[in-house]
Each structure stands twice: as structure tokens, then as C-alpha cells.
């Protein structure tokens, strides 16, 4: 009897301990991650040569997010690459006990430009790719949520198109990963992989103004979205799309108003045309530039600041005279002949604000560019920024980016990919219904809202 009693007590204890362990595991799984973001990279991520001493784009991100309850710490080190940074994972990153980490390394430090041989460069490209993916895994295994900062400019590479191609290819490659990412290149690229004039301290580093432009490419609510569990955006497979009836003297059907300052940007959408009129628009302010001399050693470097002017600016995509046309404050660009039929056409408007250039792409190819600078404050689809003629059209996959796109990323989207770097809005437009004033599904890793602002829109399949 005594043995049986002890056995029952032991069994009860085992059950209690097992229950407590299970409860502890559940609580650990449910416990929110610390609202602490560690930036883990090399000298640009560290904020080296930021003439305003604000800690680079990471420091500026910290200032932006601090009032929202987030802390940003910087454990980057100049000269690091995927090999040099690996031992610092335990010594520098883990002691921060961060819930989130931004991995920010360059192809330059990896050594890709040391030899011109393509086989060598292919090897370095692969070394960077596998090295960053290994870091992603280590961070996730340690319980951190990972963001990857894409590759960026280097002035010495402007005379070597192959190095520019590697940079653009890697940025597209990162979009294939199940990892949120930041398109730093689009804000500072002069179109040849060099820094835009006025944004650099030297060939490998931005100045304070360059860091500010790079900071604007980070979706401000990205970490809040990750905290909420929003996954990497994926395309809709239902076959649904939005239909805009089109009308005269009408406003746009959909709008997105960014809550935080945006400079460089891009919009992307697919359209099937039924009649002439406005299809999409961006409103904002014309940007002005201010030059500031910066004495660095025995040199004086000119710093360019990009600021809003008092002048309003509107950018519009419309269908008229059998062509898709982009019109902005700096001029116009047109596509070739486009028919009103059942063909879906891919449209991209990409604006490098600091660069002062808008590029207009139709069906994966650039059809024109316009010199201008605009700081956007609202985006519209299914009509213009003001009332006017609205095209009857079918629409799907509306994207708004916080950075400019290039030929490689546009081609990737046109061929069916989701370029998710600096993506603030990804509205598949596959909602079952579009009610005036209601929110539209946004699959981007952001908390930004897309709203129905017109009545002439319906769901079709």
C-alpha cells in the first residue's frame, strides 16, 4: 500500500512538472520580442564619415522610432565582410539581446572589385550571398527577426558596368529570400552605381545628407509589422482584380497617404485598358536643393540637401492617343502603341529624388525619363490626383516603394517576381468588395493603409 501511495505521489509530481514545463514553453513562445533593433554591418551601417554626426542612417532610424517605443543600437564595424563579421556574432551581437537585427554588409568589402576576372567575381558574389544567408540563419536560431540591407553605391565602380550589374543582381536576389529588406541603392544611385553628387563623403561612404536619403528608404512601420507577424508578401492566386468604371469629372478610386517623409519612390501596377483617361497619380511638393560646403581635411566637399519647396507637384499616368503617357512637372514620356484589349500591361514610375530623375517603364522596358525632383505626399490609383477624366480599366498588384527601382528590379517584377525591398504598399486588389472609405488589403510588411476614396470601383474575376 505504501509503495502504491508513493507511486501515485510520484505520478502526480511528474504530471505537475510536465504541465509547468509546457506552460513555460507556451509563455516563452508567446512572449513578445524586445523592441530593440541591432544594426550589424560595416562602415556605412556604422555611420562613418557622417558629417552631421547623427550616426548614419541607423542613428536617424533610431531617432525616428524612439518616440514609438523602439531602441536602435549599432554594433557595426568598418571593414567587415561576411567572413570578418562572423566571429563578432557571439561577442558583439548576442550580448545586445535584441529582438531584431539589420544585417548591412557591402559587396565592396567582400572584395569583388579586386580582380576583373568574371569567375573570381562570381565566386565573391556567391560568397557574399551564402555568407549573409548563414548570418540570417544564426540570427533566427538565436530568436532574432532579421532584415537585410541591400547592396549600395560605390563611386569607383561607375566605370565598370559589370560591378553595377552584380550590385543590381544581388538586390534582386535578396528579394527572392523570405527576409524583409531595404533598397538603399535606389536613393543614392546616380545610374552608374556611383553616389549622386552631393551625397558622398568619399567614394565608399555617404555624407550626412546621403545617410538621410538612405534612411528614408526604410519603411517606418516595418518593425511594427514584423512584431505583428506579417509575412513576406506573396502574390494573390484567386484571379480577382479591381475594375474601375471610368468617368468624366471624377476622382481616383484608391489612395495611399504615407505617414512619414518619403523622397525617392516607385509605383508599380498592372493595367488592362478599356478607355482613355487618368490611371494613376502622385501628388506632392516640388523639391529644392540646397548646397553646403563641408571642410574635410584639406578638401572642401559640397553637400546637397533635398528639401520641399512651396510649389505643388503632380505626376500622372494616363492613357490617351493610343499610348500610355507619364506627365510630371519636368515634362512627359510616352510608350509605344497600346491597344484597348484583354492584354495586361505592367507600368512603373520610378523617381530618384536626390538624383532628380523620373523613369517611366512599360512592360519591363524604360520608354522615357524626365528630369525633376518631387517629394510625394499622396498616391492614387484608378484616376488622377484631382477630378478629371478617369480611364475605365482593370487593375491589380499596386505597389508603392520607398526607393527608386532600376532596370533589373523592374524586369524582375515584370517577369512575375515580388520585389519586396522598401515595399510599403502591396495591394493585390483581390478584395471581395471595395466599399467607399474602407481599407484595402496591404500585404507589404508595413502598417500603412490603402483606402477606397471613390465609388466607381468593383471586384472582378
Rounded Cα–Cα distance for residues 255 and 175 (Å): 26
Percentage of residues in the chain having pLDDT higher than 90: 91
Give the 3-state secondary structure of residue 352: strand
**Are residues 305 and 292 in contact, defined by beta-carbon separation less than 8 angstroms?**
yes
In terms of pLDDT, which residue wins out, 14 or 444?
A: 444
pLDDT in tens, 71-122: 999 999 999 999 999 999 999 999 999 999 999 999 999 999 999 999 999 9
Give the 3-state secondary structure of residue 449: coil
Rounded Cα–Cα distance for residues 52 and 73 (Å): 18
Q: Do domains 33-215 and 241-460 have the same CATH topology?
A: no
pLDDT at 4 over 80: no
In terms of pLDDT, which residue wins out, 435 or 27?
A: 435
Rounded Cα–Cα distance for residues 356 and 286 (Å): 11
Res 248: pLDDT = 84
Instruction: Please give the angle made by the CA atoms of 229, 231 and 237, to the nearest 5 degrees.
Output: 135
Res 25: pLDDT = 43
Q: For the chain, count helices (H), then strands (E).
A: 11, 25
Percentage of residues in the chain having pLDDT higher than 70: 93
Res 31: pLDDT = 80
**Are residues 385 and 282 in contact, defined by beta-carbon separation less than 8 angstroms?**
yes
pLDDT at 26 over 60: no
Band (28; pLDDT cuts 50, 70, 90): very low
- Residue ranges per structural domain of the chain: 33-215, 241-460
Instruction: Please give the angle made by the CA atoms of 181, 187 and 191, to the nearest 5 degrees.
Output: 110
What is 33-215's CATH number, 3.40.50.1110, 1.10.3720.10, 3.40.50.920, 3.40.50.620? 3.40.50.1110
Give the 3-state secondary structure of residue 410: helix
pLDDT at 17 over 90: no
pLDDT at 14 over 80: no
What is the average pLDDT score of the chain? 94
User: Span 241-460: which CATH code?
Assistant: 2.60.120.200
Give the DSSP H/E element, type plus range, for residue 215. Answer: helix 208-215
pLDDT in tens, 352-393: 999 999 999 999 999 999 999 999 999 999 999 999 999 999
pLDDT at 224 over 50: yes
Amino acid at each position: 500500500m505504501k509503495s502504491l501511495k508513493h507511486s501515485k505521489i510520484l505520478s502526480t509530481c511528474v504530471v505537475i512538472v510536465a504541465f509547468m514545463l509546457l506552460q513555460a514553453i507556451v509563455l516563452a513562445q508567446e512572449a513578445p520580442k524586445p523592441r530593440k533593433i541591432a544594426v550589424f554591418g560595416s562602415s556605412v551601417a556604422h555611420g562613418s564619415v557622417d558629417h552631421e554626426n547623427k550616426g548614419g542612417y541607423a542613428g536617424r532610424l533610431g531617432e525616428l522610432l524612439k518616440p514609438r517605443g523602439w531602441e536602435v543600437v549599432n554594433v557595426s564595424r568598418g571593414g567587415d565582410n561576411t567572413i570578418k563579421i562572423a566571429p563578432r556574432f557571439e561577442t558583439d551581437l548576442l550580448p545586445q539581446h535584441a529582438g531584431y537585427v539589420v544585417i548591412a554588409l557591402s559587396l565592396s568589402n567582400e572584395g569583388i572589385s579586386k580582380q576583373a576576372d568574371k569567375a573570381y567575381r562570381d565566386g565573391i558574389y556567391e560568397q557574399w550571398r551564402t555568407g549573409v544567408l548563414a548570418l540570417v540563419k544564426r540570427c533566427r536560431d538565436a530568436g532574432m527577426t532579421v532584415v537585410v540591407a541591400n547592396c549600395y553605391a560605390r563611386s569607383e565602380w561607375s566605370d565598370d558596368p559589370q560591378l553595377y550589374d552584380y550590385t543590381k543582381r544581388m538586390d534582386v536576389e535578396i528579394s527572392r529570400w523570405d527576409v524583409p529588406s531595404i533598397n538603399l541603392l535606389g536613393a543614392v544611385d546616380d545610374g552608374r552605381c556611383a553616389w549622386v553628387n552631393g551625397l558622398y563623403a568619399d567614394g565608399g561612404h555617404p555624407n550626412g545628407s546621403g545617410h538621410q536619403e538612405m534612411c528614408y528608404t526604410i519603411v517606418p512601420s516595418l518593425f511594427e509589422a514584423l512584431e505583428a507577424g506579417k509575412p513576406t508578401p506573396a502574390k494573390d492566386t484567386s484571379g480577382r482584380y479591381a475594375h474601375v468604371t471610368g468617368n468624366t469629372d471624377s476622382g481616383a478610386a484608391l489612395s495611399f497617404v504615407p505617414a512619414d517623409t518619403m523622397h525617392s519612390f516607385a509605383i508599380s501596377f498592372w493595367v488592362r485598358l478599356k478607355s482613355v483617361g487618368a490611371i494613376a497619380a502622385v501628388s506632392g511638393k516640388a523639391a529644392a536643393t540646397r548646397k553646403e560646403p563641408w571642410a574635410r581635411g584639406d578638401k572642401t566637399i559640397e553637400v546637397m540637401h533635398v528639401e520641399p519647396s512651396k510649389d505643388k507637384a503632380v505626376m500622372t499616368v494616363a492613357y490617351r492617343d493610343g499610348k500610355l503617357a507619364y506627365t510630371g512637372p519636368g515634362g512627359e514620356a510616352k510608350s509605344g502603341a497600346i491597344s484597348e484589349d484583354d492584354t495586361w500591361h505592367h507600368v512603373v514610375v520610378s523617381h530618384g529624388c536626390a538624383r532628380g530623375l523620373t523613369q517611366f517603364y512599360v512592360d519591363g522596358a524604360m520608354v522615357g525619363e524626365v528630369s525633376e525632383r518631387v517629394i510625394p505626399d499622396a498616391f492614387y490609383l484608378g484616376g488622377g490626383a484631382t477630378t478629371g477624366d478617369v480611364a475605365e480599366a482593370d487593375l491589380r498588384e499596386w505597389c508603392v516603394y520607398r526607393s527608386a527601382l532600376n532596370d533589373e528590379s523592374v524586369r524582375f517584377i515584370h517577369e512575375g517576381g515580388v520585389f519586396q525591398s522598401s515595399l510599403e504598399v502591396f495591394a493585390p486588389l483581390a478584395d471581395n468588395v471595395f466599399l467607399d472609405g474602407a481599407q484595402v488589403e496591404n500585404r507589404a510588411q508595413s502598417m500603412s493603409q490603402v483606402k477606397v476614396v471613390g465609388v466607381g470601383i468593383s471586384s472582378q474575376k
